Amino acid sequence: MDTQLSWTHTVTGKPFAYEGDLAGGLVVYPTERDDWTELSGGRVPIPADHIRFIRSEIRNAQLIPMGACRDNPAPGSVGDKLMQNRWSPQDLTYVVPLLREEGFCDAFKQGRGYVIRYTGP
């Protein structure tokens, strides 16, 4: 593992480390707790084609439920569409915060879940 990891946090505030970028793909290293020091030991690879798909769904919908639940994402959500492709909705947990940082979208709590709003090119 690269010692020069980047750090950010999910939409719910949980920190995570990652390497790579949105254009070329990511490898995410979740944290053990809600601190910025202890990695869980797991790694979540997120290929670039998953990220392009997520971007496309957000851009096309303009406003869409996030649906990051691994087992039962909200119908019509980005997570639901990922599952239809046999991909994990968990990718959203890590991709949406990075898309938000670059100004592509915003995510906000609505009811029990989160909604993503397209904000940029």
The pLDDT assigned to 2 comes to: 47
The pLDDT assigned to 3 comes to: 61
Q: What is the pLDDT of residues 31-81, one digit of tens each?
A: 987 767 788 888 999 999 999 999 999 999 999 999 998 888 999 999 999
Is 30 or 33 the better-scoring residue by pLDDT? 30
| Pair of tokens at residue 10 | 């999910």
